[in-house]
Structure 1
Amino acid sequence: MKKILLSGLIILLLNSVFAKASILDTRYSNLDTKYDFVVAQDGSGNFKTVQEALNAVPDFRRVTTTIFIKNGVYKEKLNLSVSKQMVTLIGESVEKTILTYDDWAQKKNLFGEEKGTSGSASCYIYGTQFTAKNITFQNSAGPVGQAVALFVAGDKARFFNCRMLGFQDTLYTYGYASRQYYYQCYIEGTVDFIFGSSTAVFEDCEIFGKRGGYYTAASTPDSTQYGYVFINSKIHGDAPANSFYFGRPWRPYAKTVFINCDLGKQLKPEGWHNWNKPDAEKTTFYAEYKSKGVGANDQSRVKWAHQLSEKEVADNYTLEKIFKGWMPK
């Protein structure tokens, strides 16, 4: 009888343990994705800092490493090195899982030298096949010039329901070989706050302009067919009317296209700026298709910009075509 009671007690305890484990797995999972590490500032996870978790990822691991980050403001200057591939970061909530730092371009390093734009970033992503979900990437330096929140160089980078917060140069899409996908993300800033040479698609995103300036500053090389493509996105802000351009060419062959986007009053009627480089008007490719909203005004755009046809969009602006076979969804 005692053995039966003892066996029953053991079974009850094991069921309790398994039930708790199941609850934890559900709490720290996103759909069918389970976590490998948990980051929590209160010590309840595997690590207290995000960088510790990134460092713990085995170099050149061939399967996805998933890191769950509990709510908190993590003030860290983060670096995911090129050897840390297939890493996924999942925040507990996009509003309360905040990765932030406060460097800026003119800030001095320990040698007394200016950090520069690239050196100002709060978070560097070099590893390939990186994914982030439900996370805020922030540079909290304020309106002090170039201050990058997120620097993305790795190929096949994906961001779902994330926020990128800053002022000038918020999001740096670095490297022409890097393909990047942003879905239902919120990106805010002032001057050139989405910039770089990568091929990047922003789908169902909110692009929020503060004060006035330029939404984009692409530096697409002449050998690359696609630069920035915004699809079904909202382009607006709290800046005054007629205070923002779609973009200006950081490099001569800049390519930026807006497809089915809702444009706010902030957009200037002319749409685009040549950055005082008349020759760039001949080499850039700036275009729209079926813009809507207060800022939609295809008759007033600069003459060197384009209005795409339905066939051009259908033939050339699918994710598969833009990303050369990579399907980020």
Structure 2
Amino acid sequence: MSRTIYVSKDKTSEHEFSTITDALSSIPEGTIEPVTIFIKKGTYKEKLIIKQPNLTLIGESKEETILTFDDYANMIMEDGSKRGTFRTPSVFIDANDFTAKNLTFQNNSGYGHQVGQALALYVDGDRMVFDNCILLGSQDTLFTAPLPPSANQLGGFTGPKEFEPRVNGRHYYRNCYIRGDVDFIFGSATSFFDHCEIFSQKTDDLPPAKQGEEQKNYGYITAASTAEGQEYGYVFSHCRLTSDCPKHSIYLGRPWRNFAKTVFLHCEIGEHIREEGWHDWNKPEAHKTMLYAEYQSTGEGSKAITEGKRASFSKQLSDYEALKYTKEKVLAGDDNWVPSLVLAD
């Protein structure tokens, strides 16, 4: 038996909640039956922690139903320490079988070195669906958990899942708009991005490169940390890569960990993408273990492929190799999960 809860900023009915936090708190702990929370238009400034499985959040309008907060990594805590990346998310989802539709997830803290990383979404779970959503941030907009096995520096993973087992989940993003600048899609999950727009935003006033000079790097779209032995990492299918950054100033990705896997299939790539496409994060030892690949890229940013300018450690998939990266194969797992069945409900 399923239950529907309504949230409205003005609480027009005695049966509605005025905050999403209160709506979540009304669900009895241990409930496993499906619950839907319908959220009416409005800006909800709440730092949300979701641990309810089988939960669906539906917004009245993706542009006008906004879930936002403004924590950031360089924020000083009461004990004098910095908040750090993984305590910044506006929305932290730590449960399986979660679905979001027609919503904006935002971190509104700003951008730049004073702010640092600032997550809009921290998604840790299996069978996660985001349909027709907007994700807005700057550095580290979307974290597709789990964390890598260990941090590169002491305290680097300080946050809610630092000492928890690392369990790979499957995430499906359909018809979403995702905006950021540095590593703004990062993490270890198996994630399929289907007909999404990925927007790399300009965040400073650096002038275009002068003739004969190399354009300064403005950022990276992905920073995958795919676990060793994991078959799939990030797959972008029929996506549009757009930007307001200068020509040849953005990388498709760089490896947060050495076994990173990121594939772009049938994507329209804007001229903001650098001709070499990919960066190795100065990890030549990762060239043999990571997978950075494209298949039938189109758009101005794809012309460098025919000219042989893509990074030597990346590859162009053959027709046969590309068959491995269908939505069904990437997300099937051991239980043959089909996310379209979730969206048909």
Q: TM-score if structure 2 supplies the norm length?
A: 0.83
Question: How large is the RMSD of aligned CA atoms in angstroms?
Answer: 1.2
Q: Indicate yes or no: 2:197 matched with 1:206.
A: yes
Q: Indicate yes or no: 2:118 matched with 1:109.
A: no
Output one character per residue of 1:39-83: Cα deviation in whole Å (capped at 9) or x when no partner: 1110125211111112222334333101000111100100002xx
Q: Which has the higher helix share?
A: 1
Instruction: Write the mapping of 1:246-285 to structure 2, written as runs, cut at 5 A.
Output: 246-285=252-291
Output one character per residue of 1:186-234: Cα deviation in whole Å (capped at 9) or x when no partner: 0000000000011100000000001220000000011211110000000
Higher RCO, Cα 8 Å, sep 6+: 2
Alignment partners' CA distance in 2, 1:115 and 1:277:
28
Alignment partner of 1:295: what SS? helix
Q: Indicate yes or no: 2:127 matched with 1:156.
A: yes
Q: Which structure 1 residue ranges, 5 or more long, are not aligned?
A: 1-33
Alignment partners' CA distance in 2, 1:281 and 1:264:
25
CA contact 2:3–2:34 (8 Å) conserved in 1: no
CA contact 1:164–1:187 (8 Å) conserved in 2: yes
Q: Which structure 2 residue ranges, 5 or more long, are not aligned?
A: 147-166, 203-217, 341-345
Higher-Rg member (1/2): 1
Instruction: Write the mapping of 1:34-49 to structure 2, written as runs, cut at 5 A.
Output: 36-45=4-13, 46-49=16-19
Give the letter for the 1:227 counterpart: G
Deviation at 1:35, TM superposition (A): 6.5
Q: Indicate yes or no: 2:46 matched with 1:76.
A: yes
What residue is the counterpart of 1:317 in the other structure? 325
What residue is the counterpart of 1:308 in the other structure? 317
Alignment partner of 2:191: what SS? strand
Alignment partner of 2:53: what SS? coil
What residue is the counterpart of 2:31 in the other structure? 61
User: Quick one: structure 1 residues 72 and 35, their matched pair in 2 at CA, closer, same or farther if it must change by over 3 Å?
Assistant: farther
Pairing partner for 1:98 from 44, 61, 66: 66
Alignment partner of 1:192: what SS? strand
Which structure 1 residue ranges, 4+ long, deviate > 6 Å from structure 2?
A: none
Aligned residues: 293
Alignment partner of 1:151: what SS? strand
Alignment partner of 1:57: what SS? coil
Alignment partners' CA distance in 2, 1:130 and 1:111:
34
Alignment partners' CA distance in 1, 2:8 and 2:78:
30
Give the letter for the 2:337 counterpart: W
Q: Indicate yes or no: 2:98 matched with 1:130.
A: yes
Alignment partners' CA distance in 2, 1:277 and 1:308:
23
Give the letter for the 1:320 counterpart: E
What residue is the counterpart of 2:164 in the other structure? none
CA contact 2:119–2:141 (8 Å) conserved in 1: yes
Give the letter for the 1:88 counterpart: T
